[in-house]
Amino acid sequence: MSQSLIENAIAHMKQEKTKLKDKNDLFGEPQIVIVGCGGAGGNTITRLHRLGVKGAKTIAINTDKQDLDLVDADEKLLIGKSITRGLGAGGYPEVGERCARESSREIEELLQGADLVFITAGMGGGTGTGASPVVAEIAKKQNAIVVGMVSTPFNVERARLIKADEGLDKLRKKADSVVVLDNNRLLEFVPNLPIDQAFSVMDQLIAETVKGITETITLPSLI
């Protein structure tokens, strides 16, 4: 390869980079927010924060102060303080929903200016199941594109399955798209995996998926 071809290629890359910067200056870079609702959502946010996700803000929302204190995130919000006093939703989605609505103004402020909002949660619990549709509703009112990225319970968690189905139905009505990752499918590939480890694997899978999509949007391509 001749020296002139290399120099031309480098010059072309510089020109493209300048064009990209000019476009960003004109239209602004996309504002992406990733919200983790409840315990499972918070775990995903912590993993994302530690992985490092370029060009996005991470937010953890919970009714349980102790759980929230353990999360690594750019922003944290304890919702429904007057309802649960920071002690959690007790596995009741209706409580999680009430808490989110009570704190709707604070959620609005955190989502202000967002173009794309990812919502991660584990369906079947109280806060994640109840709050995530409210967060989606608030984001949509602010004209953001909303994508849910949620996991569903194991078949052995029968009480949580019914709650998960009801929560999913509500979330699908509010979000533009919902990606459901079924914990049971994971056990089909690794049948002897302990359930607590399966939860961790699913958290990691969701985190890496959201990170990949986000950085596809925010980072300049070399191709």
Structure confidence by residue, pLDDT tens digits, 65-124: 999 999 999 999 999 999 999 999 999 999 999 999 999 999 999 999 999 999 999 999
Q: Is residue 15 part of a domain?
A: no
Residue 223 resides in a domain = no
What is the domain-level CATH number for residue 136?
Answer: 3.40.50.1440
What is the Cα–Cα distance from 68 to 122, expressed in whole angstroms? Answer: 15
* Bridge partners of residue 78, in order along the sequence: 62
What SS3 state is found at 66? helix
What does the DSSP 8-state code read for residue 176?
A: S
- What is the pTM assigned to this prediction? 0.83
The reply to whether 72 falls in a domain is yes
Q: Is it the case that residue 21 has pLDDT exceeding 90?
A: no
pLDDT for the residue numbered 27: 52
Give 3-state DSSP helix, strand, coil % of the chain, rounded to 5: 60, 20, 25
In this predicted structure, what is the pLDDT of residue 114? 96
In a domain, 137, yes or no: yes
**Domain extent at residue 146:** 31-218
Domain for residue 117, yes or no?
yes
Please count the structural domains in the chain: 1
Residue range 39-46: average pLDDT?
A: 95
Confidence of residue 4 (pLDDT cuts 50, 70, 90): low
pLDDT digits (tens, 9 = 90+) for 138-186: 999 999 999 999 999 888 788 899 999 999 999 999 999 999 988 777 7
In a domain, 37, yes or no: yes
Structure token pair of residue 116:
């794309």
Q: How confident is the model at residue 49 (pLDDT cuts 50, 70, 90)?
A: confident
Q: How confident is the model over 36-48, as a mean pLDDT?
A: 95
- Report how far residue 58's alpha carbon sits from residue 60's, in angstroms, rounded to the nearest whole number: 7
Check pLDDT > 70 for residue 10: no
- The pLDDT score that the predictor gives to residue 217 is 83
Q: In what order do the strands lie in the sheet with 116-122?
A: 75-78, 56-62, 32-37, 116-122, 145-152, 177-182
Residue among 167, 175, 199, 174 at smallest CA distance from 186: 199
Question: Is residue 1 included in any domain, yes or no?
Answer: no
Task: Report phi then psi at 190, rounded to 5.
Answer: -130, 75
| Burial track 44-75 (b if 16+ CB lie within 10 A, e otherwise) | bbbbbbeeebeebbbbbbbbbeebbeebebee
81 in a domain, yes or no? Answer: yes
Torsion of CA 205, 203, 219, 112, to 10 degrees: 140
Give the residue-averaged pLDDT of 5-12.
Answer: 55
The 10s digit of each residue's pLDDT in 185-211 is 776 776 777 767 777 888 888 888 888
pLDDT at residue 130 is higher than 60 = yes
